[in-house]
Structure 1
Amino acid sequence: MPTLRGPFLLPQELVDLILDHLVGARSFKACSLVSRAWMPRSRSYLFKTCKLSLRNLGAFCDLLRSPNCTFIPHVRSIAAYRCSGDAEDHCFNDVAEDLRRLINVRTLDVILNIVIRASNVEDYFLRGFFTAFPHITRLDLLCGGKPPSLPAPLIKTLCMFPALQVLVVRETSSLKLEEPPADAIPPPGLHSLTLGMGTGAPILAWLHATGHLPNVNSLKLDLVKLSEASTVRAALQQVGGALHHLDIDLTWTPETYWARSSTVFDLALHPNLKTLTLHDSSWDSSWIFDYGLRSFDTNQMIQFITRLSAPTLERISVALYLRVYENAHWEALDAFLCSDRFPRLRTVAF
């Protein structure tokens, strides 16, 4: 269809702004057929994220090899699912050369289902598929299944992405992570960490040993195991004032499997915080039901928050079980969160 003419023609900048407000693949498919001028912006959304699995991997790579392929510049994110127990999973490594054509990919979201039949866990980290995306700035990784006993070379994998800025490791509790190699240097721009259970201590220890932690300004951390408490505490001390965004799970129950939060975290170490998100997981512990709510000191959370010394704070959000905290000394917290102490504070959410 030819480009629209006459008095109803809008500048391309306005057309692009209108297209930016559309939602859903059907809308963008329809708009991409209106005119050539509408097609690039529509395709930038249609092909922004491509989802890959064994069901579509072959056909996708056939398209990439076609001389008539026109969507390659628009692909900026890849979401892939792999299962090492599938006999055809090797195809992900076989097509790495084709996937390298996607030079604008900046986000990689991968689910690895590693089962005991995997012959070499390094095939899922250091060879093939991951090597196709050296320019990514965000890596989102989830590892599940029943892996072999070999340690997973996750830290070596991170070193393969020199432009990496945001790391999200949602779950690797089923994997045993390797010891950091002596020559493993973190990506220089890595500044945001979301670390699930089983990854917090090893990755923070690596970044601590390499002196990289002062570059980290955003940290989201799941519950810390008792055996990892000293490692995480030392890492947070090194991060110090560099931290602007902190999101952590807390527990006040007796030290058994999880470390008591007051022995790990000290909000006074982070005077430049802008956002703080706290999740109290104590109520989700069998300890409360064994010993009763009366034995639970609800003011531990209040005392923890009042360690804050961050005049830059803009938002604080706390998730807790209201039934447990109904008799807490909220007036003390209300007095603490005053405008004189936190002049930039705009949102307090419980």
Structure 2
Amino acid sequence: MEPVFVLAIAAVVTVLVFDYTNGFHDAANVVATVIASRAMSPAQAVALVAVFEFLGPLLGGTAVANTIGGFINLGDVPVVLSLGVLVAGLLGAICWNLLTWWWGIPSSSSHALVGGLVGAVVLAVGVDHVQWGFGELAQGRLTGVTKVLLALVLSPVLGFVVGYLLHRLLSLIFRAARPVLNRYLRLAQYVTTAGLAFSHGANDAQKSMGILTLVLVLGGFIPKFEVPFWVMLACAMAMTAGILSGGWRIVRTLGFAVYKVRPLHALDSQLTSAAVIFSASLAGAPVSTSHVVASSIMGIGASERPRSVRWGKAGEIAATWLITLPASAAAGAVLLLGLRIFLD
């Protein structure tokens, strides 16, 4: 069997495994607040989320996939090496996802993917094969790694600010409401949780769609970078399977360890997160659901009782965010060194 074909199959499988771990890792980010506020049982939440996670990649467009597929340039690299680089980078991201899941920390799968790929590419063929986007930024255009990093930095800031303002507004509107309002707030979360799941699927599955399409282009299986429908379907299925598996360690962190979440807090967090993530998807900006959900909860807590926010736990999450890129880059580079034995 041809080495290119074998490596292409390995790369496709690795992409889908990453997509699965992404869903597995991020399931908790989507369902944490709806479970913590007792609006749904874990089984109900996961069933609802799985349906809309599946629809997100199919109906959410391909803008994010185009961004992810274009930030590394392997067109002039031998096919076997380029596919090996993709496999190593993806394995680095998978390792980091599993490690942070084990620790129960909501890190960013987007950070891990970018870091793993950049680490493998730089080690294999040098920094010139990464589309950094610094020069384009000076000309007022966002592209490459610069676009990815800016989206990852700005999205949690927006999550915090929008969550803060929205909770202030709704707290003012409902200040004289009776406790029976909580019943309706829990029912409303069926809609907001579905919206958050759809936006998460539309953004996160597209990252895998972009890499999988890049595999097909580099292997010569398709003539140009255009996401096939079967790629959308495969990534949607892998993400949904991961969601159904769940990552309950992270539910405890986001739902209980940052701020005590009640029905109004949960609704505000879901609305905030869905709006920020879906807007980013339309702009082709890959963002971290972990970052946005966690920062929205912090913003909501800060707007109500800043002293009740467990800022120590928030600090742990922030520290993990900071080390994800270098750690996953190192993992991608180390795994490439191991794979070079078979590539040479």
Shorter-chain TM range is under 0.3
> Which is greater in Rg?
1
Q: Which has the higher strand share?
A: 1
Q: Which structure shows the higher helix fraction?
A: 2
TM-score under structure 1 normalisation?
A: 0.20
Which is bigger in relative contact order (C-alpha 8 A, separation at least 6)?
2
TM-score by length of 2: 0.20
